[in-house]
A = this chain, B = another copy of it.
Amino acid sequence: MTIPAPLTGVVPPVCTPLTPEREVDVDSLHRLLGHLMAGGVHGLFVLGSTSEAAYLTDRQRELVVSETVRHVAGRLPVLAGAIDMTTPRVLERVASVTAAGADAVVVTAPFYARTHPAEIARHYRLVAAASPVPVLAYDIPPAVHTKLPAGLVLELAGEGVLAGLKDSSGDLAAFREVVSGARTRPGLTGFTVLTGSELLVDTALALGADGAVPGLANVDPHGYVRLDRLCRDGDHTRARTEQERLCALHGMVHAGDPARMGPGSSAIGAFKAALHLRGVIACPATADPQVPLTEPEVAAVGRFLTAAGLL
């Protein structure tokens, strides 16, 4: 399908359920997709950071896309990350995920290689020229170690290189600059601006963002869809209450002991533990070399679910 321009609403970055042997658990993936669609989400983003894209082999990535496309059957737009280090490798990922049916690709700046704004611009121009589907920029400095400058995003939007931005930078002032630019500059109608923050969806929508890509929406899609609705209805008070409920639920990402694991192991581990506790996926395993949550840490995740009325 052609993705809407702009794409609006809640577009969860879909977790990738794994078997105990760390293969993609296709049955659980279908159950998770059903759970998200039942929650009323407006699109799906596979192969992002929350999807453990960095941990999946190319074969596994392709399987995730093709199964998701098969499940969705055109009812929702499917965005897919094409996460790799530089242009030639990203182009292969783009070819692979679009052959599997993705409706748009989400692409970061080059990483591992030291880079420069001129090289980032060149990267996006080359990727867009070769991509059969629209390209969204993925601004995720904790992974990529550069910040996409707002001016560059708007410049590439104006050229038609970028169809949108998925912002996981945490820099709301720069995000606002893109949102405002996209709304006021000529020729940018239809440019999609999505926030990746679970904690600031109400805020981002109030600034004029089109939608959100909240990892926590795997756990509580209904909550984020409700929040999106309240924001669009201008019901600021109830929106803030719903957002704060979700902020409290988000506390689960700190369940893992920071002396024993990194923040990714803890956050992804918590989301998968929550999906397992809620009966959506069969196994909470995360990919290697992430460290699994202990039983008491999983129990702590359960208490967050209970407090939020989800268990």
Contacts and interface: CB of A to CB of B under 8 A. Distances in A.
Interface stretch (A26-34, A63-71, A106-114, A272-280): A106-114
A98 to B, nearest CB: 17
B288 A87 contact: yes
A206 interface: yes
Interface residues of A, number: 63
Contacts of A126: 288-289
A288 B114 contact: no
A175 to B, nearest CB: 9
A268 to B, nearest CB: 9
Given A143-B114, A247-B180, A289-B122, A203 B199 contact: no
A8 interface: no
Contacts of A115: 262, 264
Contacts of A199: 173, 176-177
Contacts of A159: none
A264 B116 CA distance: 9
Interface string A95-133: 000000000000000111111101110110010000000
28 contacts: A54-B86, A54-B89, A54-B110, A54-B112, A56-B88, A57-B92, A88-B288, A112-B112, A114-B263, A114-B264, A115-B262, A115-B264, A116-B262, A119-B289, A119-B290, A119-B291, A126-B288, A145-B145, A172-B200, A173-B197, A173-B199, A176-B199, A177-B199, A203-B207, A206-B206, A206-B240, A208-B240, A234-B236
Closest 10 A-B residue pairs measured CB to CB?
Answer: A116-B262, A123-B289, A122-B289, A87-B288, A173-B199, A54-B85, A54-B113, A114-B264, A55-B86, A172-B172
Interface of A: 22, 49, 54-58, 60, 83, 85-89, 92, 110-116, 118-120, 122-123, 126, 142-145, 170-173, 176-177, 180, 197, 199-200, 202-203, 206-208, 234, 236, 240, 244, 247, 260-265, 287-291
